[in-house]
């Protein structure tokens, strides 16, 4: 292989687009050629520099777009839109005339505290969760102020990647979005927007967040009410620490989970006491799962499941990891997995789910491996029991109060499907409990939604 060829291969390596043969050829060449090794290092350095360019935030995008749409080319098809805009502008004008200078958000959503508790969700947990996000945002804001331009850059980069954290966003996309967005995201939205604008009132308000009560108080105060600031301990974060964390995260979002994983690992080694240590572990788990390294992802997930609330998407991912590992074990593979205690994935999963799943209303679990607790009608129960008689590894246990625990032996399901004696029952059970066997389709690494 010639040195000229490495230019192309080094580029493809950054995109994870090397064929195995090319990867080997490149590695061999790099081992022998100091000049190309240097070129590879320089390329990484240059790309890191490129990543340092701050993200841009468009100003007045929405207003600009609508005034452009409404202004020049008014056609019949656009009339309803134009009429809507006209009404919008008119009411805004009236508001200004009547109220004097309007608050930054003249149509603030109802504060959390005034929303009716219309759904049996435990809102406190979400509130605490968001309070946690907001606390991190506060840390970012403070850091940004200390770092000047660089800080603003990081702040912007983090928001543009994740708003107030990717978990918040995933929660919004989870099967509880209505209640969740009504109660949490809508009230928080103006704060986030104002933070994006570097609004001093919002910055001050976010600084007051420290607890559930503090969070509500902050939202209320931002809605124009007075409230006494309450002191809050914000973790100190060093410049390098924040930078390391965000760069590792950027790599993950750039679709390079392998590199992100090692960066987060470096981060934890370098900053063991960091307030982001748990987050780093979470991102390592996420990156390992994304890379298909389930043996590594699972213990990490287990490690963080105590410290960090895992949303439904993440639980699903965790279960995929466990399921994939279990399948390999069932197939006789030996896995080098460092798990606490015995390698009983079901037991471990049960523990984690017991801690995490009470947050979820019934029906939000769309893909479950191994152990499912659910209500069963007589016909489905009978069908499952018939399967169980032939495949004793499939267990159905009465948990009382109309609930049953079904343990599905993942590795036997393909066989069951082909077994004429139980195929009908399987189909019947699946009709009632479509999620029961669904997750058995293990998605290959990289195909999970980001």
**181 in contact with another protein (CB under 8 A):** yes
Parallel, antiparallel or unpaired: strands 403-407 and 371-375: antiparallel
Please identify which residue in 112, 137, 155, 164 interacts with another protein, judged by CB under 8 A: 164
93 burial type by CB count under 10 A (0-12 exposed, 13-18 middle, 19+ buried): exposed
CA dist., res. 68 & res. 64, Å (int): 6
243 binds another protein (CB under 8 A): no
193 belongs to the binding site for another protein (CB under 8 A):
yes
Min dist. Cβ of residue 206 to another protein (A): 14
Of residues 365, 371, 372, 369, the one with CA closest to residue 312: 365
- Write b or e for each residue in 36-59: b if 16 or more Cβ atoms lie within 10 A of its Cβ, otherwise e: beebbeebeeeeeeeeeeeeeeee
Q: How far is the CB of 401 from another protein (least distance, A)?
A: 32
Closest approach, Cβ 351 to another protein, in A, equals 30
Site track 38-77 with another protein (rule: CB under 8 A), x = hit: xx-xxxxxxxxxxxxxxxxxxxxxx-xxx-xx-------x
Cβ distance to another protein smaller for residue 197 or 415? 197
CB of 438 to another protein, least distance (A): 17
- Find the binder of another protein among 104, 119, 121, 160 (CB under 8 A): 160
Shortest Å distance, C-beta 255 to another protein: 5
Q: Specify which residues 294 forms β-bridges with.
A: none
Among 159, 215, 222, 404, binds another protein (CB under 8 A): 159
Distance CA(405)–CA(397), nearest Å, equals: 5
136-155 residues near another protein, rule: CB under 8 A: 149-150, 152-153
Among 17, 86, 213, 423, binds another protein (CB under 8 A): 17
**CB 163 → another protein: shortest distance, Å?**
5
Indicate whether 186 belongs to the interface with another protein (CB under 8 A): yes
Residue 299 sits in the site that holds another protein (CB under 8 A):
no
> With binding defined as CB under 8 A, does residue 188 bind another protein?
yes
Residue 69 Cβ vs another protein, minimum distance, rounded to whole Å: 6
Question: What is the per-residue binding string for another protein in 354-383, x denoting contact by CB under 8 A?
Answer: ------------------------------
The Cα–Cα gap between 315 and 349 comes to 10
Query: DSSP letter string over 185-241?
Result: IHHHHHHHHHHHTT-HHHHHHHHT--SHHHHHHHHHHHTT--------------HHH
Of residues 96-125, those binding another protein (CB under 8 A): 105, 107, 109
Report the alpha-carbon distance of residue 255 to residue 261 in Å, rounded.
11
Give me the DSSP letters along 265-311. HHHHHH-TT-TTHHHHHHHHHHHHHHTT-HHHHHHHHHHHHTTSPPP
Q: Indicate whether 8 belongs to the interface with another protein (CB under 8 A).
A: yes
Is residue 15 near another protein by the rule CB under 8 A? yes
CB of 46 to another protein, least distance (A): 4
Give phi and psi for 109, each to the nearest 5: -65, 165
Is residue 14 at the binding interface for another protein, with CB under 8 A as the rule? yes
């Amino acid at each position: 292989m010639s040195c000229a060829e490495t230019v192309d291969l080094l580029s493809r390596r950054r995109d994870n687009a090397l064929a195995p043969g090319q990867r080997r050829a490149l590695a061999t060449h790099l081992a022998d050629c100091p000049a190309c090794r240097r070129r590879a290092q320089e390329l990484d350095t240059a790309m890191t520099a490129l990543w340092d360019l701050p993200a841009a935030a468009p100003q007045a995008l929405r207003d600009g777009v609508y005034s452009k749409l409404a202004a020049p080319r008014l056609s019949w098809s656009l009339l309803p839109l134009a009429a809507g805009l006209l009404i919008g502008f008119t009411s805004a004008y009236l508001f200004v005339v009547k109220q004097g200078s309007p608050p930054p958000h003249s149509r603030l959503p109802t504060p959390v505290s005034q929303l009716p508790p219309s759904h049996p969700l435990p809102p406190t947990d979400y509130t605490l969760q968001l309070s946690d996000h907001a606390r991190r945002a506060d840390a970012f804001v403070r850091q940004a102020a200390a770092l000047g331009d660089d800080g603003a850059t990081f702040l912007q980069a983090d928001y543009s990647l994740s708003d107030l954290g990717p978990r918040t966003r995933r929660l919004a996309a989870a099967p509880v979005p209505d209640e969740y967005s009504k109660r949490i995201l809508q009230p928080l939205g103006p704060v986030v927007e104002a933070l994006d604008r570097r609004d001093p009132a919002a910055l001050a308000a976010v600084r007051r967040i420290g607890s559930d009560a503090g969070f509500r108080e902050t939202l209320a105060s931002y809605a124009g009410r007075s409230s006494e600031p309450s002191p809050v301990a914000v973790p100190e974060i060093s410049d390098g620490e924040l930078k390391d964390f965000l760069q590792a995260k950027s790599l993950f979002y750039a679709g390079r989970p392998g590199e992100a994983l090692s960066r987060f690992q470096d981060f934890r080694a370098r900053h063991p006491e960091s307030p982001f240590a748990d987050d780093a572990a979470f991102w390592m788990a996420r990156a390992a799962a994304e890379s298909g390294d389930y043996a590594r992802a699972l213990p990490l997930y287990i490690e963080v499941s105590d410290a960090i609330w895992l949303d439904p998407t993440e639980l699903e991912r965790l279960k995929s990891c466990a399921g994939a590992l279990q399948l390999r074990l069932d197939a006789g593979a030996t896995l080098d997995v460092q798990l606490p205690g015995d390698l009983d994935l079901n037991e471990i999963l049960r523990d984690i789910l017991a801690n995490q799943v009470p947050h979820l209303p019934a029906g939000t679990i769309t893909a479950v491996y191994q152990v499912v607790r659910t209500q069963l009608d007589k016909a489905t129960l009978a069908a499952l029991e018939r399967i169980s008689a032939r495949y004793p590894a499939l267990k159905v246990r009465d948990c009382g109060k109309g609930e049953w625990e079904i343990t599905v032996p993942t590795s036997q399901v393909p066989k069951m499907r082909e077994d004429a004696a139980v195929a009908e029952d399987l189909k019947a059970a699946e009709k009632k409990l479509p999620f029961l066997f669904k997750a058995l389709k293990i998605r290959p690494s990289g195909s999970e939604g980001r």
